Amino acid sequence: MGMDVNTQLSRAGTDSVSASLALLDELPQLSTAVSQLFEALSDDDIDRHRLAGIIDQCPSLAAKLVGLANSAYFSRTSRINGVSDAIFVIGFRTVRSLATATALQEPFANHRCPAFQPGRFWLHAVLTGHVARELAKKSSHRPSLNPDEAFLSGLLHGIGLMALAHLFPEDLNRVLEQAGQQPGALSEQIQQTFGATHHIVGAALLKRWHLPELFSCTTEHYASQDYHGACWRICRLVALAHDWADRVIHQDTGTPFDPRSLNLLGIEPEDGEAVSISCLEQLDTLTGLAELISGEKPQFCNPHVVADAAVELKDRLVDTIESLSSLSALTEIDIQERSEKGVLRGALKVLMANQDMQRCSIFLVEGDELLNAAGLSWSEQNTKHAEKPPAPVVTHRFRVGEGLIGLAAQTGEMQHCRDCTADPRFKATQTDKDAGLGSIISVPICFQDTTLGVLNISHLQPNIFSEWDERFLYVFCNMLGQLITSNRLLRKMEHEIEQRTLELQVALERAESLSILDGLTGVHNRRYFISNFSTLIEQCARYEHKLALLMIDIDDFKQINDSYGHLEGDRILKAIANILKQCARGADIIARFGGEEFIIALQDTECEGAHQVASRILEQIRRLPCGQGEQQRGITVSIGLSCYTQTFNMPIKTPEQWIQEADDALYRAKRTGKNRISVHVADTPGKNR
């Protein structure tokens, strides 16, 4: 940075907060166990038992690893009690992520800054690291970006904010509350308050912890568009991932990545979109990982946006129904079990039962016409055969503006004809039954600014309806408008729920398929294999079937990625997966067990047959080309085989024991020169080779 960090910070200002940044040396150092852990995680060939011994020195981390292994995500049928077994189930990549984040979380565990939310902080860090790693794999630039370095750079890029929360909880709390959701406001206010950005504080902290310079450099410069130093590519990558994580936490996933930034990093737009989709599909898993690290459930910035919309719609229905329930019999109509015609006829029965009228009808608006949708007379209301179905409604149509009914719809105002014989607005030819009517009131049925229809009531006597009737019918029609709208909205919601349920079922079926397959190679994944291998062991023991297990690891795969790029590495993985599917049978279980490691469970196969399968795999993989032209090279694998020579009195072993035997044989093949098969014969001591 050009000068000592503490000196630079102390020059920023004279107020107490800025000056006290010089107390950066008071931040906790990493424990010896954590330092050993970082060193161990950087060794790609570390044995899981040795790694477990180091993690056991950190009780909190050990407990979290065992808890994650026993979580529903890994579908365990038997409980994991030890760190070594937990590493085996989880895999080194997840262990690396959880261990690194947990180790950095421990020194800062405090709750003195309410506005700083560790759950959301670690969710942002995990999202940034994860998407940075996936984007690094897609970069076509040379030299290629290291995905694991990209992940750790993204995971650590915001560590300075956590340090400030530890040093100055009250001051940072005030800054976080003032910054709100304004883009760029946080960094500026931190600079104004503390005399330095959290990027500088984070870089100083990582240097203090003696982590590789790449991480401190990225932490300090990723937010600067003007930085063009040695680490500029990883800085641009982390900045891209940081912005993506920000949008996800703010529930804005409309634009995955800036095309110009992708182009600068040698990443195709379609690859960027694929990474975004893949990471969003894993959002629940990454959220769970952040919760495990921080000890609290991460909260998105707008956690209830979608839920609030649904609740608002539901509340409007409930409010409508509750308000209607305060009015006598009309509000007792159950719209959930009735069609629109049933609701209208129920409303007319309520009206007829409580008011003095000869007949009432409801006309609904359809385009520029009003159609008679329901009608009820006094004689029909009081018939002795109430169980008989209502007589069909005689279809009457009026154009908007025609007659009293049409005028009510057109003007949105009540039309009261006190004496039909003297009022020119009354159209005597409306129906033959209208002859001799004395009084009619036509009241518009409205909801908000929309006219839904018209309620028409009549009586044989003129001047029968009073001003009180007018006021009552006005309120009645307003309530009826809400009732009709609520019924329609409910029917629409039911239809949408049915559609969404069907869509959800399809999505769940697709997700279930994706959850058991490796996204790159198309074979099963580790979780599926571990879950189903136990069942296979029990079946083979019950029916005295033979069983064999192959553990296959690509030799020098890291050199392939470094020399030819990750795209070529992915092609090799796919090609080897296809060879395994060709050499195995349909009943066998094939899975990608790790980065370049595959595993096959061979049913009803003795040692000799399993060795033949392994030999075919070895031979076909040797024929695979890698690279092009003069740089082309061959591919080899090492295979560890665990098997039985006889099935009677075969001891039942756990999946872990089976895999450990095959794994030991695999490492024996590696040690003795690679490109070969090593066999562990479980029931014949001394024959292991």
The three-state DSSP-derived secondary structure of 505-531 is HHHHHHHHHHHCECCCCCCEEHHHHHH
| Omega cis (within 30) before 28 | no
Q: Three-state SS for 258? A: coil
307 pLDDT exceeds 70?
Answer: no
Residue 208 is predicted with a pLDDT of 79
Q: Which of 314-328, 573-587, 625-639 has the highest mean pLDDT?
A: 573-587
Residue 143 is predicted with a pLDDT of 79
Burial of 198 (0-12, 13-18, 19+ CB in 10 A): buried
Q: Flag the least confident range among 307-316, 381-390, 423-432, 508-517.
A: 307-316
Q: Determine if the pTM surpasses 0.85.
A: no
Residue 648 is predicted with a pLDDT of 57
- Give the residue, 685 or 571, on which the prediction is more confident: 571
Is 273 one of the annotated active-site residues of the chain?
no
116 pLDDT exceeds 50?
Answer: yes
Whole-angstrom Cα distance, residue 135 to residue 149?
12
* Structural contact between residues 602 and 549, judged by C-beta atoms closer than 8 angstroms: yes
**Is 314-492 assigned to CATH 1.25.40.10?**
no
427 pLDDT exceeds 70?
Answer: no
Length of the chain: 689
Neighbours of 94 (CB within 10 A): 18
For residue 576, which of 521, 633, 529 has the smallest C-alpha distance? 521
- Give the residue, 152 or 307, on which the prediction is more confident: 152
Domain segments of the chain: what residues?
31-108, 314-492, 524-681
Q: For residue 342, what are the CA distances in angstroms to 339, 348, 396, 453, 474?
A: 5, 10, 19, 16, 22
Residue 30 is predicted with a pLDDT of 66
Whole-angstrom Cα distance, residue 92 to residue 95?
5
313 pLDDT exceeds 60?
Answer: no
**3 state SS for 153-206:** HHHHCCHHHHHHHHHCHHHHHHHHHHHCCCCCHHHHHHHHHHCCCHHHHHHHHH
> What band does 2 get if pLDDT is binned at 50, 70 and 90?
very low
309 pLDDT exceeds 60?
Answer: no
* Structural contact between residues 617 and 583, judged by C-beta atoms closer than 8 angstroms: yes
Residue 570 is predicted with a pLDDT of 94
% of residues, the chain, pLDDT over 70: 78
For residue 663, which of 68, 41, 85, 42 has the smallest C-alpha distance? 85
H or E segment to which residue 243 belongs: helix 232-249
The overall longest dimension of the chain from CA atoms, in Å, is 119
- Give the residue, 305 or 368, on which the prediction is more confident: 368
596, 597, 656, 661: which one is catalytic? 596
Residue whose token pair is 């035997």: 661
Residue ranges of E strands in 297-421: 359-366, 369-377, 397-399, 415-417
Residue 635 is predicted with a pLDDT of 93
Q: pLDDT digit string (tens) for 169-220?
A: 888 888 887 765 454 577 888 888 888 888 988 888 888 777 788 888 999 9
Residue 621 is predicted with a pLDDT of 94
420 pLDDT exceeds 90?
Answer: no
Q: pLDDT digit string (tens) for 227-286?
A: 888 888 999 999 998 988 888 887 776 667 888 888 888 888 888 888 888 888 888 878
Residue 201 is predicted with a pLDDT of 86
Q: Three-state SS for 25? A: helix
Q: Flag the least confident range among 34-43, 46-55, 124-133, 524-533.
A: 34-43
**Mean pLDDT across the stretch 574-596?**
93
> What band does 85 get if pLDDT is binned at 50, 70 and 90?
confident
What average pLDDT is seen over the chain? 79
**Mean pLDDT across the stretch 301-330?**
45
Whole-angstrom Cα distance, residue 268 to residue 139?
8
Neighbours of 678 (CB within 10 A): 23
Q: Alpha-carbon Rg of the chain, whole angstroms?
A: 37
Whole-angstrom Cα distance, residue 361 to residue 577?
73
Domains 314-492 and 524-681 share a fold: no
> What band does 306 get if pLDDT is binned at 50, 70 and 90?
very low
Two tokens, residue 35: 């330092």
Produce one character per residue of 463-478: b if its CB has 16 or more CB atoms within 10 Å, e if not. ebbeeebeebbeebbe
524-681, what's its fold?
Alpha-Beta Plaits (3.30.70)
- Give the residue, 390 or 123, on which the prediction is more confident: 123
Q: For residue 290, what are the CA distances in angstroms to 266, 314, 330?
A: 30, 33, 53
DSSP 541-594: HHTT--EEEEEEEETTHHHHHHHH-HHHHHHHHHHHHHHHHHHS-TTSEEEE-S
- Give the residue, 17 or 104, on which the prediction is more confident: 104
> What band does 163 get if pLDDT is binned at 50, 70 and 90?
confident
Whole-angstrom Cα distance, residue 543 to residue 546?
9
Whole-angstrom Cα distance, residue 595 to residue 193?
46
**Mean pLDDT across the stretch 517-538?**
89
Whole-angstrom Cα distance, residue 35 to residue 27?
16
* Structural contact between residues 215 and 34, judged by C-beta atoms closer than 8 angstroms: no
Residue whose token pair is 């055969």: 385
Residue 432 is predicted with a pLDDT of 44
Residue 180 is predicted with a pLDDT of 57
Whole-angstrom Cα distance, residue 640 to residue 663?
6
520 pLDDT exceeds 80?
Answer: yes
